[in-house]
Amino acid sequence: MHCHWKLNLCGRSAAANPISWWYYAMISITEKEFTQLSRMIEKSFGIYLKIEKKSLVMSRLQNILLEKGFKSYSQYYQYLINDKTGAAQVELVNRITTNHTFFLREKEHFDYFSGTVLPDLKRNAKGGTVRIWSAGCSTGEEPYTLAMVIKDYLKEGGLNYRILATDISKKALSKAVLGVYPDESVSNIPLMWKMNYFTKTAEGLYKVSDEIKSAVLFRRLNLMDEFPFKRKFHTIFCRNVMIYFRSDTRARLLKKIYDVLEDGGYLFIGKSESILKNETGFKHVLPSVYRKD
């Protein structure tokens, strides 16, 4: 029988860190098991994991296997397909997603949003509500940044708006709903934002104000699923999410995004991403900013 247990050296190199050498038994994943699991992950969540991600997958999932007493990834896979509660998949996606984000990430987007998009939406809103969607919002910094940018802008006049923020990771979403961030998370935001839109907790953490929180509605949504929206959006931020998808998955998602965007609406994607010409009806406005004609 194939032995799934292997002794691994964890942490930094011995030379770099001679004192904190420690060893643990890591359950290794065979190539066949990796293919089986990665296919399931791509089918369910769109996330494509190349074989080069084997060690990453092992390090992210090994605690689940240890906690549940599984001796191999085949056993874990069986557990995933037999679980009817959905809990196993929730736990898997919590561990497998990369949730890196920060306030004012790709700041040029927010400059364009407040300088061009908001005045445009305001002109055309005609008293209606402007709907904004942060798709793949992770721990909340992106939708909260949008709410702060809008609040600043509204000092110049009224606009009804709503921000929907969705993600597939329940773990990331609970942090987002809590809205409490350490000092280093807010180090790059304007001082006025810290003063106006945060309160400091007894532990020295920064808590997003109720005013900002109330502007954002967080929901769990798998972007691979059919979208449940009744109304279209005026602006969609879907940044640094599609980088984990293969081109056919990305194309299907872009088509769905296109369909739920109002005519003249804006789409922001990550700065390292792009939409191929003729892939959709999106018109290129700026690098990583598009508009539905």
The answer to whether the CB of 206 falls within 8 A of the CB of 185 is yes
**DSSP state string for 70-99:** -SSHHHHHHHHHH--SSHHHHHHHHHHS--
Min CB(239)–ligand SAM separation in Å: 4
**Least Cβ distance, residue 163 to ligand SAM (angstroms):** 13
Cα(220)–Cα(169) distance, integer angstroms: 7
Which residues, in sequence order, are CB contacts of 166 under 8 Å at separation 6+? 133, 134, 135, 136, 137, 218, 219, 220, 221, 223
Nearer to ligand SAM, 72 or 145 (CB): 145
Between 136 and 179, whose beta carbon lies closer to ligand SAM? 136
Where on the chain is the footprint of ligand SAM (CB under 6 A)? Answer: 45-47, 97-101, 105, 136-138, 142, 167-169, 172, 222-224, 239-241, 244, 270
Residue number, 4 or 234, with CB nearest to ligand SAM: 234
- Between 26 and 172, CB nearer to ligand SAM: 172
Nearer to ligand SAM, 122 or 256 (CB): 256
Which is closer to ligand SAM, CB of 70 or CB of 143? 143
**Minimum distance from residue 135 beta carbon to ligand SAM (Å):** 7
Residue ranges of alpha helices (H) inside 104-246 are 107-112, 118-125, 141-154, 170-178, 191-197, 210-213
Instruction: Give the phi and the psi of residue 177 in degrees, each rounded to 5.
Output: -65, -40
182 vs 278: CA distance, rounded Å: 43
- Considering Cα of 96, then 101, then 106, then 110, what sign does the dihedral take? positive
CA dist 202 and 184 (Å) reads 16
Please report how close the Cβ of residue 234 comes to ligand SAM at its closest, in angstroms: 18
Comparison of 36 and 185: residue with beta carbon closer to ligand SAM? 185
The CB-of-100 to ligand SAM minimum distance in angstroms stands at 5
**β-pairing verdict for 160-167 and 261-269:** unpaired
Residues 88 and 148: their CA atoms lie apart, in Å, by: 36
